[in-house]
Amino acid sequence: MRKKTIEDYVELIYILQDKTGKVHTNDIAFALDISPASVTEIFQKLSDEDYINYEKYSGVTLTSKGKKIAIEIKIKHDTLKKFLMILGISEKTANEDACKIEHIVTPETMKRFTKFVEFVQKFKEEPKWLDNFEHFYKTGEYFESASIESDNNSIHEKKSQ
């Protein structure tokens, strides 16, 4: 498993903070299935680097530096998740993979993903070519070749008549 980075912790604090105001040691310990002692160590490190405001026993909040990073990651996460779901990936897997890709994706690639998601979402209904891709994914058949085949059939029918 990939080692958790500062970005991961800041993102998690941001998500939990959003719901409860402050984030406590036990919230993180429970979410990551690690000991409260390990969380205390992480909080200390994040506090030393000015990502969180940390006072023992009163929970933590993100500093403006921490919040800035958290928001950037959250935007990347949401876009990557949408991108993967457009490709037909389940929400659960898209969520998990987005959380990994968001830490390593280059700005150039991220920009393309963002534009692509924006482009696809402009359509009122799911674009036909995405349906075609889904069909291809499931069957290995191109809609185009299927229609050429039926065209050929109709030619044969005409010839044999």
Exactly one of 13, 77, 83, 84 binds Fe ion (CB under 5 A); that residue is: 77
CA distance linking residue 113 with residue 157, whole number of Å = 46
Exactly one of 70, 80, 94, 99 binds Fe ion (CB under 5 A); that residue is: 99
Q: Residues with Cβ < 8 Å from 124, sequence gap 6 or more?
A: none
Question: Which region among 54-62, 78-86, 93-101, 111-119 touches Fe ion (by CB under 5 A)?
Answer: 93-101
Indicate the residue among 60 and 99 with the shorter CB distance to Fe ion.
99
Residue ranges of E strands in 4-160: 52-54, 60-62
Tell me if 80 contacts Fe ion by CB under 5 A: no
Structural tokens at position 32: 């990551």
Q: CA dihedral in degrees (38, 41, 46, 47; nearest 10)?
A: 140
Question: Which region among 17-25, 76-84, 119-127, 136-144 touches Fe ion (by CB under 5 A)?
Answer: 76-84
Residue number closest to Fe ion, CB atom: 99
**40-44-47 Cα angle (round to 5):** 135
Question: Which region among 59-67, 81-89, 96-104, 142-150 touches Fe ion (by CB under 5 A)?
Answer: 96-104
User: In the complex, which residues of this chain contact Fe ion (CB under 5 A)?
Assistant: 77, 99
